[in-house]
Amino acid sequence: MKNVAKALLGAVSMLAVTVAAPAMAEPKAEVLHYWTSGGEAKAVQALQEAFKARGGTWVDAPVAGGGGDAQAAVLRARVLAGDPPAAVQIKGPNIQEWAEAGALGDLNAVAEAQDWDKVLPETIQNIVKYDGQYVAVPVNVHRVDWIWANPEVLAKVGADVPKTWDEFNETAEKLKAAGIIPLAHGGQPWQDATVFETVVLGVGGIDFYQKALVDLDMEALGSDTMVKVFDQMRKMRGYVDPDFPGRDWNLATAMVMRGEAAMQIMGDWAKGEFAAAGLEPGKDYICASTPSDGGYLLNSDSFAMFNVSGDDNVEGQALLAELILGTDFQETFNLYKGSIPARTDVPRGEFDACAIKSMDDMVAAAEGGTLMGSMAHEIAQAGAIRGAFIDVVTAHFNSDMSSTEATEKLVKAIKLAM
């Protein structure tokens, strides 16, 4: 995979520094992130408050746009201009790329002090370590493969949350016949890709997901199974409302809240919206994993500390890293955000049934070998490869392209991107 970061940094050379707390500097941190929706904003606000409570000066640098593509463009431009922010919300292989390019400071001092090796699952350690060094601090685990449903709306057609894709289609047809929007969806490429990967997992199965979206096996990518996946995506195009193009994900979640639509397929950041609206799982809304034979699609947000000069910045980075993986903050943040803690020893008492299900399913999936990195959310793939998937998926979703043509285009696009 081409290292875009290295090419960018070629222009601006920087030395990797160890992030540790020098004496007497005023901790300060400019934080680049894309958390601007109701639940997201509450969660990042909690981090700001914790940082300020410890005497830190937080410089907020939000970039609106779910999924983070807009933020990634701002980051590249800032690095190219030799002005990287101190802390950046970042994920998956992107962390490795920036670390390989020498743009990140290591967090080993904080990691040793807080014993990260003991409290973080191996899957998460592998995401935030480069060459055995901690170069980012994980803040959560988000599950991607969820259905969020309005029980009252489903009851109008005598349906429960579907457990198979056939059931999903039957229920959606009944809802449509009753004049109800079956699927609340936001027409943005990353959202189309989010739905797509849950269909790959459910229609193709775990091994197929691994082969096609992780290993990039050309036979799997060009197979009849992939044609079936696009067939299902074509059906789902028929279950969204005409106003879906360009809609932000949280506005689709709000449609389910208000009973304007029956279901949304989205990661559990959607739960942060339900929580921010004071709604309760099992009563006002239902969470269920999308139909599959036991997979779990993992997404995890982290903060990487870019090489910036000045003791106040370095102290700010160390303080942020310490706060983010503190048990109290891990609880507070994830209750707002809809995700579960990255560290495994946070008490469960405050977490709801959806979070407990995510915690248990993640452990079972890790043990059973069915824990899959999300492609759409840059855990299994990033950069050009992820872009190739998203381009074909969204082109198919927003046209009358046949499933066979989409499958052929996918194989070509992935080959080109490799």
> Which positions touch ligand GAL (CB under 6 A)?
35, 40, 66-68, 142, 249, 269, 299, 301, 377
| Minimum distance, C-beta of residue 18 to ligand GAL, in the bound complex (Å) | 27
Choice between 151 and 387, CB closer to ligand GAL: 387
Choice between 68 and 182, CB closer to ligand GAL: 68
If DSSP codes are grouped into helix, strand and coil, which group holds residue 362? Answer: helix
| Minimum distance, C-beta of residue 374 to ligand GAL, in the bound complex (Å) | 8
Radius of gyration, alpha carbons of the chain: 21
Q: Which residue number places its CB atom closest to ligand GAL? A: 66
Decide the pairing of beta strands 136-138 and 129-130: unpaired
Choice between 35 and 230, CB closer to ligand GAL: 35
Q: What CA–CA distance (Å, rounded) separates 196 from 397? A: 10
| Minimum distance, C-beta of residue 179 to ligand GAL, in the bound complex (Å) | 30
| Minimum distance, C-beta of residue 68 to ligand GAL, in the bound complex (Å) | 5
Q: What CA–CA distance (Å, rounded) separates 320 from 348? A: 23
Q: Is 216 left (phi over 0), alpha (psi -120 to 50) or beta?
A: left
Q: What are phi and psi of 260, to 5 degrees?
A: -80, -20
- Cβ atoms 121, 344 nearer than 8 A: yes
Decide the pairing of beta strands 57-62 and 87-90: unpaired
- Cβ atoms 29, 51 nearer than 8 A: yes
Choice between 50 and 411, CB closer to ligand GAL: 50
| Minimum distance, C-beta of residue 142 to ligand GAL, in the bound complex (Å) | 6
- Strands (E) in 20-169, as ranges, are 28-33, 57-62, 87-90, 129-130, 133-134, 136-138, 142-143, 146-149
Choice between 21 and 270, CB closer to ligand GAL: 270
| Minimum distance, C-beta of residue 417 to ligand GAL, in the bound complex (Å) | 20
Choice between 319 and 375, CB closer to ligand GAL: 375
Beginning with the edge strand found earlier in the chain, give each strand of the sheet holding 57-62 in spatial order.
57-62, 28-33, 87-90, 302-305, 136-138
Choice between 210 and 299, CB closer to ligand GAL: 299
| Minimum distance, C-beta of residue 43 to ligand GAL, in the bound complex (Å) | 9
